[in-house]
């Protein structure tokens, strides 16, 4: 997932600090390359497709290429069966991964995935990544956060795109993550419309929807559920054709709000204020990176109606996600949304 690719870049940052002269190659899903372009800690990309990476025949073929490069170090941040097999077959001198049933065979160093919550009061997923660097250094830079790097020319291209789309750059502009990566990570359309109505009423902001052409029908459904006043603020036909183009545009936004996911993480990596609405079954503590109650605020159904969870963790509620979403009334989050607006608009 895009958020995972972006989060794991902090490992490369630490490696460059520990080994300034090292060549660092990053194995990622091909369509995520836009997130790491121009990253100063990453020298080369090894791009694969998700479907290929799920095939053992591909893993074996790829392992031969990695073995040929004679890597001194391999860090497996993915931690799944296929990446473990790839780690083993790469024959890298040192191989680091999380402690799992296969770790004795796959890795030379297995790390228990138990970040220090006194260091990571928010965004435990960052702590998980940094733990993977502990076998190579005692000077772990626990404060590192993911960053996206745009060139001045790219930022100018984003500005030009906005002007051509009819955006007034002198007025607030907000990116909206209207759709999650799946139905069980997407706030119901009517609830999202209520959030946007309330938000526009407070800010008068222009709105851009983050979606791809195949999601146009769903984006329109949310647009149509909004009030007429809100619709006048939405540039429904203005969508960036690629992830990199999206980043160029996002860099000019006042903030990004909506469903928690890759787009929200991109906003944080561009140092854009974020208001994230978590799915009822996602563990907020893992992904609420940089939440400070001001520039970055996130909301979760468990925050408002903890009795629905009792002694169960959000992850155990995945099968009930759609049912729980019906309890996530937009009005529950209005006070937090108002606080976000006061701090950032």
Instruction: For residue range 49-103, list pLDDT tens digits in order.
Output: 999 999 999 999 999 999 999 999 999 999 999 999 999 999 999 999 999 999 9
pLDDT value at position 47? 95
pLDDT value at position 156? 97
The answer on pLDDT for 128 being more than 80 is yes
The answer on pLDDT for 241 being more than 90 is no
pLDDT value at position 181? 86
pLDDT value at position 312? 84
Q: How far apart are CA 311 and CA 313, in angstroms?
A: 7
Once rounded to an integer, what is the mean pLDDT over residues 288-303? 93
Once rounded to an integer, what is the mean pLDDT over residues 296-325? 91
Once rounded to an integer, what is the mean pLDDT over residues 285-308? 92
Report the DSSP pairing between strands 109-111 and 94-98.
parallel
Tell me the pLDDT band of 281, cut-offs 50, 70 and 90: very high
The answer on pLDDT for 311 being more than 90 is no
Percentage of the residues of the chain whose pLDDT score is greater than 90: 85
Q: 197: exposed, middle or buried (C-beta count within 10 Å: 0-12, 13-18, 19+)?
A: middle
pLDDT value at position 172? 98
pLDDT value at position 116? 92
pLDDT value at position 3? 85
Q: How far apart are CA 81 and CA 56, in angstroms?
A: 10
pLDDT value at position 2? 85
The answer on pLDDT for 317 being more than 90 is no
pLDDT value at position 313? 85
Question: Is residue 93 within 8 Å of 72, Cβ to Cβ?
Answer: yes
Tell me the pLDDT band of 289, cut-offs 50, 70 and 90: confident
pLDDT value at position 285? 85
What are residue 314's phi and psi, to 5 degrees? -55, -40
Give me the residue label for tokens 């851009």.
208
pLDDT value at position 213? 83
Q: How far apart are CA 197 and CA 135, in angstroms?
A: 50
The answer on pLDDT for 1 being more than 80 is no
pLDDT value at position 123? 85
pLDDT value at position 316? 86
How many Cα atoms sit within 13 Å of 183 on the Cβ side? 7
Q: Map out the domains of the chain with their CATH numbers.
A: 2-131 (3.40.50.2000), 152-344 (3.40.50.2000)
Once rounded to an integer, what is the mean pLDDT over residues 316-341? 94
The answer on pLDDT for 287 being more than 90 is no
pLDDT value at position 214? 86
Taking CA atoms, 130 is separated from 32, 141, 200, in Å, by 21, 8, 39
Q: How far apart are CA 51 and CA 55, in angstroms?
A: 7
Q: What is the token pair recorded at 41? A: 């800690």
Question: Is residue 144 within 8 Å of 10, Cβ to Cβ?
Answer: yes
Q: How far apart are CA 231 and CA 200, in angstroms?
A: 10
Tell me the pLDDT of the chain averaged across its residues.
Answer: 94
More confident residue, 27 or 1: 27
Q: How far apart are CA 293 and CA 307, in angstroms?
A: 23
Tell me the pLDDT band of 121, cut-offs 50, 70 and 90: confident
- Greatest pairwise CA separation for the chain in angstroms: 62
Tell me the pLDDT band of 310, cut-offs 50, 70 and 90: confident
Tell me the pLDDT band of 270, cut-offs 50, 70 and 90: very high
For the entire predicted model, the pTM comes to: 0.91
């Amino acid at each position: 997932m895009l958020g995972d690719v972006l989060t794991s870049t902090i490992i490369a940052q630490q490696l460059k600090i520990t080994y300034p002269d090292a060549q660092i190659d990053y194995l990622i899903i091909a369509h995520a390359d836009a997130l790491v372009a121009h990253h100063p800690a990453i020298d080369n990309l090894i791009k694969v497709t998700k479907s290929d990476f799920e095939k053992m025949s591909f893993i074996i073929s790829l392992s031969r290429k990695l073995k040929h490069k004679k890597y001194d170090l391999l860090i497996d941040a993915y931690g799944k069966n296929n990446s473990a097999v790839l780690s083993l077959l790469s024959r890298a001198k040192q191989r680091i991964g999380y402690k799992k049933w296969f770790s004795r065979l796959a890795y030379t160093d297995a790390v228990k995935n138990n970040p220090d919550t006194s260091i990571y009061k928010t965004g435990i997923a960052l702590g998980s990544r940094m733990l993977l660097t502990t076998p190579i250094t005692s000077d772990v830079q626990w404060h590192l956060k993911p960053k996206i790097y745009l060139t001045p020319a790219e930022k100018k291209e984003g500005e030009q795109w906005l002007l051509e789309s009819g955006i007034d750059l002198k007025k607030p502009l907000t990116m909206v993550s209207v759709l999650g990566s799946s139905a069980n990570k997407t706030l119901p359309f009517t609830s999202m419309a209520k959030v946007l109505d309330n938000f526009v009423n407070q800010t008068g902001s222009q709105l851009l929807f983050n979606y791809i052409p195949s999601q146009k029908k769903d984006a329109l459904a949310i647009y149509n559920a909004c009030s007429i006043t809100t619709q006048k603020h939405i540039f429904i036909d203005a969508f960036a054709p690629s992830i990199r183009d999206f980043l160029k545009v996002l860099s000019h936004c006042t903030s990004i709000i909506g469903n928690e996911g890759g787009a929200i993480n991109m906003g944080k990596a561009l140092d854009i204020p974020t208001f994230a609405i978590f799915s009822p079954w996602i563990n907020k503590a893992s992904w609420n990176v940089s939440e400070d109650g001001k520039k970055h605020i996130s909301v979760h159904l468990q925050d408002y109606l903890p009795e629905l969870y009792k002694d169960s963790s959000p992850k155990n509620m995945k099968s009930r996600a759609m049912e729980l979403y019906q309890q996530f009334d937009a009005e529950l989050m209005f006070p937090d949304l108002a606080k976000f607006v006061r701090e950032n608009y």
